[in-house]
Amino acid sequence: IVSFVIFGRSLVTNVDGNLARTPITPIKNILSQLSKPMNIIEKSKLNSLWYDSSKSLMEQNTNENDLILLRFKYFTFYDLNPKFDAIRLNQLYEQAKWSILSEDIDCTEEEMMTFAALQVNINVYMEKLREYL
């Protein structure tokens, strides 16, 4: 069982330990635990503070009980291959999903609907794929 502590609450997220797949979790169970940015200043703080991956957390003045929000910083020049980068792709997908649900990013209703349609399409495809296996 893999669990994370986010904003002081422990969330059990993956039973089988495979980080390339996310278990189905009822959104209403987790949505109440998410921290939503209250205003534009909080949003800018969340998106401006990034760690330097070439330095350790201690070198960047991170203390033992500090809360850290783990995110994958994606650039368009990354060549993500599903065969080799399944965990990164899943992290990017989950990051996008929860950013929309927690209203961390501003997007139009049309963009939200497009993302939801892609989610449904992926889920239907995966169900059909499981039937054939």
| Per-residue model confidence as pLDDT tens digits over 97-126 | 888 887 778 889 999 899 989 888 988 887
Between CA 61 and CA 92 the distance in angstroms is 26
pTM over 0.85: no
Between CA 84 and CA 88 the distance in angstroms is 9
Between CA 3 and CA 13 the distance in angstroms is 6
Please report, rounded to a whole number, the percentage of residues in the chain having pLDDT higher than 70: 71
